[in-house]
Amino acid sequence: RREQLKRLAVQPSLTADGEHLELAANIGSVEDLAKVLENGADGIGLFRTEFLYMGRSSFPTEEEQYRIYKHVLEKLNGKRVVIRTLDIGGDKELPYLELPKESNPFLGLRALRLCLQREDLFRTQLRALLRASTAGKLNIMFPMIAVLSELREAKRILAEEREKLQQEGIPVSDSIEVGMMIEIPAAALSADHFAKEVDFFSIGTNDLIQYTMAADRMNESVAYLYQPYNPSILRLVHMVIKAGQRAGIWTGMCGEMAGDQTAIPLLLGMGLHEFSMSAGSVLPARELVSRLSRKEWAELAEEALAMGTQEEVKQFVEQRSTT
Ligand code: PEP
Ligand code: MG
Say how many Å lie between the CA of residue 222 and the centre of ligand 1. 19
Letter string b/e over residues 131-163, b meaning 16 or more CB atoms within 10 A of that residue's CB: bbbbbbbbbbbbbbbbeeebbebbbebbeebbe
Where residue 43 falls (left for φ over 0; alpha for ψ -120 to 50; beta otherwise) is left
Catalytic residue among 254, 270, 283, 292: 254
Residue nearest to atom 3 of ligand 1 (CA): 204
DSSP conformation letters of 182-228? E-SHHHHHTHHHHHTT-SEEEE-HHHHHHHHHT--TT-GGGGGG--T
Please state the atom number of ligand 1 nearest to the C-alpha of residue 90.
Answer: 10
Say how many Å lie between the CA of residue 183 and the centre of ligand 2. 6
Please return the burial class of 2, using the count of CB atoms within 10 Å of its CB with bins 0-12, 13-18 and 19+.
exposed
Dist. CA 134–CA 70, nearest whole Å: 8
Closest to 249 (Cα-Cα) out of 182, 314, 322: 182
Cβ atoms within 10 Å of 77's Cβ, excluding its own:
10
| pLDDT on residue 89 | 87
Secondary structure, 3-state, 225-260: HCCCCCHHHHHHHHHHHHHHHHHCCEEEECCHHHHC
Q: Is-catalytic flag, 254?
A: yes
Q: What is the pTM of this model?
A: 0.97
| pLDDT on residue 232 | 97
| pLDDT on residue 323 | 55
Q: Which residues are CB-neighbours of 203 under 8 A, at least 6 positions away?
A: 181, 182, 183, 188, 237, 240, 251, 252, 253, 254, 255, 258
Task: Kindly provide the ipTM of the predicted complex, given to two decimals.
Answer: 0.99
Task: Confirm or reject: Cβ of 42 under 6 Å from ligand 1.
Answer: no
The per-residue pLDDT for range 155-181, each reduced to its tens digit, is: 999 999 999 999 999 999 999 999 999
Task: Confirm or reject: Cβ of 255 under 6 Å from ligand 1.
Answer: yes
CA-CA-CA-CA dihedral for 125, 276, 26, 126, to nearest 10: 0
| Binding site as annotated, residues for phosphoenolpyruvate | 48, 84, 206-207, 217
Residue nearest to atom 8 of ligand 1 (CA): 206
- For the chain, residues with pLDDT lower than 50 are none
| pLDDT on residue 211 | 98
Say how many Å lie between the CA of residue 318 and the centre of ligand 2. 27
DSSP state of 89: B
Task: Confirm or reject: Cβ of 183 under 6 Å from ligand 1.
Answer: yes
| pLDDT on residue 93 | 84
| Mutational test site, ligand 1, from 212, 254, 260, max ligand atoms within 8 Å of CB | 254
| pLDDT on residue 1 | 79
CA-CA-CA-CA dihedral for 292, 293, 294, 296, to nearest 10: -110
Say how many Å lie between the CA of residue 223 and the centre of ligand 2. 17
Dist. CA 25–CA 94, nearest whole Å: 26
